[in-house]
Amino acid sequence: MKTKIYRDPVVEAYMPGVDRTLLRENLKLTPAQRLEKLVSFSSFAATLRRAGQRALRAKKR
């Protein structure tokens, strides 16, 4: 059974802002590779967050 996609004009207004180059790069990957990329990015974001927290603590001292 196919799910029909309704095109909402509000959503359409956001579409020119979508970076298609990122999506095209992701579509070259397998689903497993996309998830590995998510894990890697998530780890990177956590590292950055910790570094930011350390920097804020140091600034307060």
Write out the residues near another protein by the rule CB under 8 A: 1-8, 10-12, 14-15, 17-20, 22-24, 26-27, 31-32, 34-39, 41-43, 45-46
DSSP notation for 12-39: HHHGGGS-HHHHHHHHTS-HHHHHHHHH
CB of 11 to another protein, least distance (A): 5
CB of 48 to another protein, least distance (A): 11
Q: Which is nearer to another protein, 4 or 59 (CB)?
A: 4
Q: Report the 10 Å Cβ neighbour count for 26.
A: 13
